[in-house]
Amino acid sequence: MAAFKGDGLKEGLENALTLHQRLGLTPLVNAAGTFTPLGVSRSSPVVAAAVAEALQGFFVIDELQAAVSRAAAQATGAEAAAVTHCVAAGIALAVAAAMTGGDPAKVRALPDSSGMPDRVVLPAGHAVDYGHPLLTDIRLAGATPVLAGSQQRCHLAQLDAALAGPRTAALLLVSSRLVVGEPLDLAAAVAAAHRRGVPAIIDGAAQDLRVETLLATGADAVLLSAHKYLAAPTAGLLVGRAAFVAAFRAQDRGIGRAMKASKEALVGVLAALSERGRLDRAAWCRDQHEKVARMTRHLRAAGIDASAVPDPAGMPLERVRVSVDASKGPDATALAVQLKSGTPSIRVMEHEVVQGSLLFELVPLAAAECELIVERLVRALRRPPVSN
């Protein structure tokens, strides 16, 4: 029997090791949110099994795209949907769809945009950097970004003046906590574009639980990262008007080839959409709220300044904010370094370190991981005992 032979035993032991142990990788507790450099999200066993099965078969890709289109349309109320590699790719392909209308000769020509409308208007505060500049995604299609207004604010009149320019291909809006400046009424911005006969695209990458609200703006297309809160394999999901989706799909014969959706991504997205359809949203929100409340309670009981903060972009979830007093212990930057350098390495949101705070997103974390975060914070922030 294999188990009694030396080789078999060694193999058995090797199988008992985790992937991180086998490959010598850093074990992580990711409280930094749906963050690309850390693997974004955790798929469920059902989604993982669907992906494994997909990897072992052949498929007519158009049939898988059609199946996702039906499932996403049913889930969101949009007319149709399509999948590409990710939202960064999706922005480039949505811009290409607006520029070409799906015309085969124009599709083949891009990114050479000679003779096509090539200006993509966006409010200046929407030109975010989510690890690279969003403007790069526009330029990848051969288009030129045109910023309206300032970082502080973009009035509708400024947006309209930019949309009125010649060769305007599309309006691009972003719904994200990364957007800066005075909030813009997205529905009014979409209406302004439509009055000029310009299609409107919304990047709602991490906003899938608000997709109905984003579609209700009247936008022609909304882009969602399937690997963020939907927890599918890496994929960009475009939902919107059927004609726009068709022009988007047509890019497969042009720049879209370099950004294709894999068979395993398509099958994984289908499984994740089906799981989302069965989700009891109210119960999910209650669970997330309770997880955040419990951690906040435990930290406060240990004398740590902790509070629950809602998502600034309106996703139905909260995060834990821990604020430190640098005169009494490590400052926020030093605390983040301390959490990162332990085992497992705890990664957190660091965009408020200047204000003395760290943020913790708990959505994908198990109870034991939340407890570990509390333990490590208590250890790091416990005052050194007063001598004598």
Residues forming contacts to ligand PLP in the complex (CB under 6 A) are: 36, 86-88, 128, 130, 174, 176, 178, 203, 205-206, 225, 236
Min. distance of Cβ 229 from ligand PLP in angstroms? Answer: 11
Min. distance of Cβ 234 from ligand PLP in angstroms? Answer: 7
By C-beta, is 65 or 225 nearer to ligand PLP?
Answer: 225
Region label for 304, one of left (φ > 0), alpha (ψ between -120 and 50) or beta (otherwise): beta
293/288 Cα distance (integer angstroms): 9
Q: Which of 247, 248, 252 is nearest to 237 (CA)?
A: 248
By C-beta, is 223 or 267 nearer to ligand PLP?
Answer: 223
By C-beta, is 86 or 146 nearer to ligand PLP?
Answer: 86
By C-beta, is 128 or 271 nearer to ligand PLP?
Answer: 128
219/94 Cα distance (integer angstroms): 12
Give burial (CB, 10 Å; 0-12/13-18/19+) of 92. Answer: buried
Q: Which of 298, 344, 345 is nearest to 320 (CA)?
A: 298
Sign of the CA dihedral with 115 first, then 173, 179, and 151 last: positive
Min. distance of Cβ 228 from ligand PLP in angstroms? Answer: 6
Min. distance of Cβ 372 from ligand PLP in angstroms? Answer: 26
Q: Is 151 helix (H, G, I), strand (E, B) or coil?
A: coil
Min. distance of Cβ 87 from ligand PLP in angstroms? Answer: 3
By C-beta, is 36 or 338 nearer to ligand PLP?
Answer: 36
Helix-strand-coil split of the chain, %, nearest 5? 50, 15, 35
Min. distance of Cβ 127 from ligand PLP in angstroms? Answer: 11
By C-beta, is 30 or 225 nearer to ligand PLP?
Answer: 225
